A and B are shown apart, each in its own frame.
Chain A
């Protein structure tokens, strides 16, 4: 979540400075007004102290002195003692000019006028005009009383004015307080509200967000803000929350990876510990760092007996060098896989198949080696025994072949001699013989011919399937086509129709032997045709695992299923030679050819419903090391019990 940059246009420092300035201005106005009023009150108090008080005191003293002046006037006007009147007049003279009356020139003038009346009264006491003088003094005395009253009133008025000033100051102070205090309070409330809304709440929100982030929750709620600093803080909080979420995700992933790694390690450990296959682990210098119990058992020790030793210490240098194992063999990282002879702890040899895999570290550098060690001692022994058996078999076959050839050749020589002399007897003495004699001679010559045929067939049987020719790809299409060309006359005379379903496969074998096989099968199909219908022969093939199953199907006379095995026995026949000529060796040769190719041949048939001969041949592929001439998926042929076909 990213903040809207438009929301962060305001900066906190100027806002705080502005608010502080406004607060200062308001407080300064309030304080200034307060101080002004305080100063005014202080000036009033100072004025009262400097002016009002002295003014009142001055008037009080003036009023008092007027009373004294009245007394002095009474004495001056009425005392019969002239000295007393003189002293009173002198005192009145001094009093009238005392500075205490100087504050009011009119008062001062009236007082000085009064002292002249007093002086006149004092001087004229004994004169005839005394009554008028006394009367004048009486008038002056009343005027002085009026002055004294006026001074009292003035003092009272001054006090009243002073209290008016105090009231005014108190009123102004109250007004200032009444106006300014709520104003300041309202402004402070406004500032507090603004600070709470724009400063405190964002800070609290940021703090809560930090608490949430600290608690590991990536979900944080932050209000929009116009303050740039808070926008920056909120943005950082959101980025921090995202980082925390990413970290949490990474942590969970790491935890899952760790658990997966632990499970993998557990599985590997279980495999490592419990596998029957030997497993070893080497460092980059081919020093053993782990050996599983199976390998340790193979080598006749415990795993710890081998850890730390160089891997080459296990190898018999006569069969394998460490460099042979470390030769790189492909992009998959698998190094040399080969069989090598190891040395057990007790020094006895151990044949093993070793497969090494170069492990790569996280940086892609080649590091440790992981090796699989399979004990192949028994197979090696079996292979050796088999090789010996094969050699013996090969020698036996060669001896038999040699025996057959020699026997056939040696047998045919006296047979040719018999035939030659039988021919000489017939040519020289044929006319001398009677019918029976010539018939006996014909039987003897036919027997010799048949024996020669049997010897030739036996010689062929011995020669086919010798396996002395290397396996080659053989296209059955070409083989069958060649067969049909050779049998063209036979097929045409029999009115047979041979159909090849689709393309026939390419198999591994010998072209000549395979041609002989299919020639025998197709010619048999023509030979054992039904009398009431033209022969229909179908050749088709279908894949069967790594082999091809080639069927030759006909609509001939067929045979009982119980003879499906016997027909492949040499010189075995199911029919009279007079109806179906032959020596009964064709299917035996087919069986020998099929088996010499690593295949099989068998037949399905019903009487008068045709027969199907199945031939399983290996498909062509590039020769692989360890190929064995064995096929697994061929039903076992039914044992032959019936007569061989003629």
Chain B
């Protein structure tokens, strides 16, 4: 009897140890409503550049991935707290973020741009004269930049969970201007919802508003980080990454 108990305990322990290897399932978070990075298509399915990159990475890692479309702030918190294995939220590397999570090697490069209604002209501060409200994505680097610079001049800051919602505030006239990632803004401007909007001034890269974009990984997962970097190299070498950029962007975004 005692031997049977020991064998059963050993089998259970073996099953616990072998379980991740037999069927590894990773939770992948993407930001919601960010055309063309991650958005739901006409059929309601989650799609976009980041979604396809994420799937290609999971395939390269031979992992089963479960994608979640969440707001940027929730994505950051989920990765930082380990509830999400890795996230593709177009995140720039900042010291604050590096303290909370791990960053992969860059997989594309970004700038930030002001978006305002067509015909608007930038003032001395880069905003349309008389602007009282600016919209930014909650938890984004743009929100932090606005909070550190423009908000001190009495400018009201409106935040939204997604880039689409941020630019919708400008399109709806709730904000005179929005500060968003250039490629996300380009995607919105090229859509019907953005037909009345336009870039305001030249794209910005200073003040941590531009730079390389990384996949964020839950802290304490160096093996997963290494596997992700290896998968990024693999999809770049096999041409699948290049095909995805051509699919979603009019030029090479790396």
Contacts and interface: CB of A to CB of B under 8 A. Distances in A.
Contact of B252 (A65, A72, A97, A112): A65
Contact of A99 (B185, B195, B202, B205): B205
Nearest to A75: B250
A546 interface: no
B151 interface: no
A99 to B, nearest CB: 4
A99 B211 CA distance: 7
B202 to A, nearest CB: 6
B186 A97 contact: no
B142 interface: no
A95 B202 contact: no
Contacts of A90: 186, 189-190, 198-199
In this complex, the interface size class of chain B, counting residues with CB under 8 Å from chain A, is: 20 to 34
A97 B250 contact: no
B210 A99 contact: yes
Contacts of B183: 94
Contacts of B113: 94, 97
A87 B111 contact: no
A91 B36 CA distance: 13
Interface string B103-133: 0000001110100000000000000000000
B199 A93 contact: yes
Given A90-B199, A93-B199, A98 B253 contact: yes
Query: Residue among A65, A87, A95 with the most chain B CB within 10 A?
Result: A95
Nearest to B197: A90
A437 B210 CA distance: 217
A335 interface: no
A99 B111 contact: yes
Given A64-B252, A68-B250, A68-B252, A97 B109 contact: no
B252 A87 contact: no
A148 interface: no
B250 A72 contact: yes
Contacts of A516: none
A65 B250 CA distance: 9
B81 to A, nearest CB: 31
B82 interface: no
Interface in B201-240: 202-203, 205, 210-212
Interface of A: prevailing SS? helix
B251 A97 contact: no
B211 A68 contact: no
B10 interface: no
Query: Residue among B190, B202, B252 with the most chain A CB within 10 A?
Result: B252
Contacts of B109: 98-100
A69 interface: yes
Contacts of B251: 64-65, 68-69, 72, 91, 94-95, 98
Interface in A77-112: 83, 87-88, 90-91, 93-95, 97-100, 102, 112
Contact of B203 (A83, A87, A94, A100): A94
Contacts of B205: 97, 99, 102
Interface string B123-167: 000000000000000000000000000000000000000000000
Contacts of B111: 94, 97-99
Interface in A29-78: 61, 64-65, 68-69, 72
Interface string B179-198: 00011011001100001001
A67 to B, nearest CB: 9
A61 B190 contact: no
Contact of B186 (A64, A91, A112): A91
Contacts of A102: 205
A83 to B, nearest CB: 8
A98 B189 CA distance: 17
Contacts of B185: 94
Nearest to A112: B202
Nearest to A90: B189
A94 B110 CA distance: 10
Interface string A537-562: 00000000000000000000000000
Contacts of B254: 61, 100
A72 B190 CA distance: 14
Given A87-B190, A90-B190, A95 B210 contact: no
13 contacts: A68-B251, A87-B189, A90-B198, A91-B186, A93-B199, A94-B113, A94-B185, A94-B186, A95-B250, A97-B182, A97-B202, A98-B251, A99-B210
Given A94-B199, A99-B111, 20 more contacts: A61-B254, A65-B252, A83-B195, A90-B199, A91-B186, A91-B251, A93-B199, A93-B203, A94-B182, A94-B183, A94-B185, A94-B203, A94-B251, A95-B251, A98-B109, A98-B251, A98-B253, A99-B110, A99-B210, A100-B254
